[in-house]
A and B are shown apart, each in its own frame.
Chain A
């Protein structure tokens, strides 16, 4: 138990922003917050009215000894019309604001092609860029652009939700969805899968890395290059083990025999901050532990424990950490 505490704490250290609907970091999220303030104000007024009336009734009309039977008021159509019409008008106003905010947050897409495909899996995220870059669990987007995400699922229903960047959107098999995000400030933003999707729904974190357009282009170019070939004894041993121990049945590493697309693409694993879907800081110790026994860290995840020796796990981890 303490081990996992440390594990989940590690990912927490890298958090740069308080996750909150109110900490809006995109125009989409800001529009929603404005609507939320209006909604909260309306709710507060109605709640305080109802509560004040109930408390007043409780205090003023509590039965006292000797009270006569009170006047039997059957109702007053005028008053009842009042508390039918006033709430209806308030809600009509809220409805108009709702429609306006919807258009601001998720306007129609037209023929626009998505800037990135978000493919949800049990229990990790795959990101595919039109440039051919495929990466996992860390979404890179540039600032200042209306970025269009195509949200899809490879298995069950998931949901892409990064509160500080705006709306959530379901990832539904057979029903691709779209979501706009216009990031403003470089930084790291966290979110999570919001639709229950099976045993490890709890550990399906989202990490969005917002970069300046220049940095983003540099990152994308870097991802398109093949990783450096294995050099050095440990790394070469790790590369051989990666093939021999069936890792390549599920994972892809460009430029090698590993071409499968079942699990996360590992071509540039060493460039990532975290592993396990925003679960653990990406370093040799954590990666070795993960490879040795992923089930101890993320129980029920689809990667099996392969009964590797400690040295084997270490060597594979060293190899993967060389993939830049």
Chain B
């Protein structure tokens, strides 16, 4: 161990860490922090790729009857945009935050299975490359990110795009299961002495539940992917109705994965918000117990709502009633969280750092996405609005206005821990306002387009009243959103070199990761003291004063 790493105070940037020098130290690394950073960088890289795909589509849609790109190109773009954002951007970003932070937050040296951790990242990385290789191999997949059969059968999609899609998702799915198991075991076995499950930070709670979701949700997808592959390559008949297959079986399998997947993409974001809001409000999380149990409730219910993606497929009413009820029920624990976050802010002394600004915008935007989600649970409304632009608006309010905003908040919050440097708050304000204005301007108007009968996934549309105008508004605000994202990326790069030195605990925070240097040395901690409450660092700072040791008993 280097001398520098031993005296934590002197570590101020990643370059100070001898063990992280050279490409090989990263490629061959089993250090959860390096793997986490590689996950996060890959996630941000694919964010830019997915945004580029989206922008080509938005330019195409800016006016009616536009023929800038061909239908085949457009179909590949929206398929790759969706697949990229869900599997190549959001999941690795969330896994990156999870594997970087969980060991630090529970006072561990590394993940439970460091080699499995590296395996998870690299199999994702090469799976992602394989998916993009399809562009060079005759055409990217073009059946949408949920690839409904029988459009994916060889009779309708005869180039190899779907094969690449299914194979790379299968490969990445295996990696995800491995990472899920790793996160579960890490949280269960490597917590610092005294850190009972009632004392772990809420981010860790949510990542733990998320690990369970990943392990249980991926197998249906992986099974369905194998079935479509054998249909295409070995002439089996799982999804070919003419020879006894069932196309609805694909939908059942896919959404049995796909709906828990939505919560897989949202729970870590909830975790980030549950760390950022208390620290910047200077108050403990309001209703810690209910926050944790409502997360368990969401995870449990998320396996019983998948039919709400299939309300227009003509299923029996008994099934529809049950899934309408469960889909509305899952809104309750989600609503609890929103109110508990607000209650945490209430009565606090709130510091509006960029991280806190993004968390605040998250509260409102995620609420909008939740309310439009309830609209789909009211089945007759789903019968009108599903597969329209209303869905496009909904999914982006949840995953962009929700998850991505939370991850940006998390980036501003933990960037100093990861790199040793604070991100520029001045650029951060620009970043925030450009993204809030750009995001809402781009997607709010899409609700109206859906109500006016605009179907999703069309490469062009007829010149109906207001259609061109609304799409043009959406496209122009999308430029603002992209500008905001570019400011974000620039801020990260600039701050890495020129940012203010953060020190171990720049936010006066409470959890264990802030007790070590920024960036943390390879071994994380020299020693971890016995944890006696939910805010171990607060306890350290305040000694045996009031409150210490009382929480979580």
Contact = CB atoms under 8 A, between A and B. Distances in A.
Interface string A156-194: 110101010011111011110110000000000011111
A155 B240 CA distance: 10
Contacts of B371: 43, 46-47
Contacts of A83: 335-336, 339
Interface string B134-145: 000000001110
Contact of A196 (B148, B242, B352, B452): B148
Nearest to A6: B65
B64 A8 contact: yes
A308 interface: no
A105 B286 contact: no
B150 A156 contact: yes
Interface stretch (B48-56, B104-112, B258-266, B359-367): B359-367
A202 to B, nearest CB: 4
Contact of B387 (A156, A168, A205): A168
A91 B374 contact: yes
A50 B345 CA distance: 13
Nearest to A74: B284
A214 interface: no
A168 B360 contact: no
A228 interface: no
Contacts of B547: 72
B290 A22 contact: no
Nearest to A86: B335
A215 interface: no
B353 to A, nearest CB: 10
A68 B283 CA distance: 12
Contact of A43 (B317, B374, B460): B374
Contacts of B65: 1, 4-5, 7-9
Contacts of A35: 378, 380-381
Interface string A1-40: 1001101110110010011111000000001100110010
Given A7-B65, A19-B464, A35-B380, A161 B453 contact: yes
B351 A73 contact: no
B288 interface: yes
A19 B336 contact: no
A39 B372 CA distance: 9
B181 interface: no
Contacts of A299: 70-71
Contacts of A151: 314
B358 to A, nearest CB: 13
Given A35-B381, A61-B347, A202-B459, A51 B364 contact: yes
Nearest to B451: A21
Given A22-B451, A70-B283, A155-B156, A32 B465 contact: no
A80 B60 CA distance: 47
Interface string B423-460: 00000000000000000000000000001110111111
Nearest to B291: A75
A87 B314 CA distance: 29
Contact of B379 (A15, A69, A102, A205): A102
B383 A105 contact: yes
A153 B65 CA distance: 27
Given A91-B328, A169-B312, A58 B350 contact: yes
A170 B453 contact: no
A102 B282 contact: no
Interface in B474-490: none
Interface in B344-395: 345-352, 360, 363-364, 367-368, 371-372, 374-375, 377-381, 383-388
Contacts of B472: none
A101 interface: yes
B325 interface: yes
Interface stretch (A92-100, A281-289, A314-322): A92-100
Interface string A83-123: 11001100110110111011101101000000000000010
A234 interface: no
A120 to B, nearest CB: 13
Contacts of B462: 8-9, 11-12, 205
A243 interface: no
B450 to A, nearest CB: 8
Contacts of B252: none
A105 B283 CA distance: 50
B37 interface: no
Contacts of A47: 367-368, 371
Nearest to B352: A62
A13 to B, nearest CB: 10
B379 A74 contact: no
Contacts of A70: 281-283, 347-349
Contact of A175 (B66, B241, B453): B241
Nearest to B287: A75
B498 interface: no
A268 B349 CA distance: 75
A194 to B, nearest CB: 4
Contacts of A108: 317
B324 interface: yes
Contacts of A43: 371-372, 374-375
A193 B350 CA distance: 50
Given A58-B350, A91-B374, A201 B458 contact: yes
Contact of A54 (B151, B284, B329, B360): B360
A72 B452 CA distance: 49
Contacts of A166: 383-384
B148 A157 contact: yes
Given A79-B343, A201-B455, 6 more contacts: A51-B364, A51-B367, A70-B283, A84-B335, A170-B314, A191-B453
Q: Which 5 A-B pairs have the closest CB atoms?
A: A174-B241, A177-B314, A75-B287, A167-B383, A202-B458
Interface of B: 64-68, 70-72, 75, 142-144, 148, 150-151, 156, 241-242, 245-248, 281-284, 286-290, 312-314, 317, 320-321, 324-325, 328-329, 331-332, 335-336, 338-340, 342-343, 345-352, 360, 363-364, 367-368, 371-372, 374-375, 377-381, 383-388, 451-453, 455-465, 547, 551
26 contacts: A1-B66, A1-B68, A5-B463, A8-B65, A9-B65, A53-B342, A61-B349, A61-B350, A70-B282, A75-B288, A76-B286, A80-B287, A83-B336, A87-B331, A91-B329, A91-B331, A102-B317, A156-B150, A161-B388, A169-B314, A172-B313, A175-B314, A192-B453, A192-B455, A198-B156, A201-B457
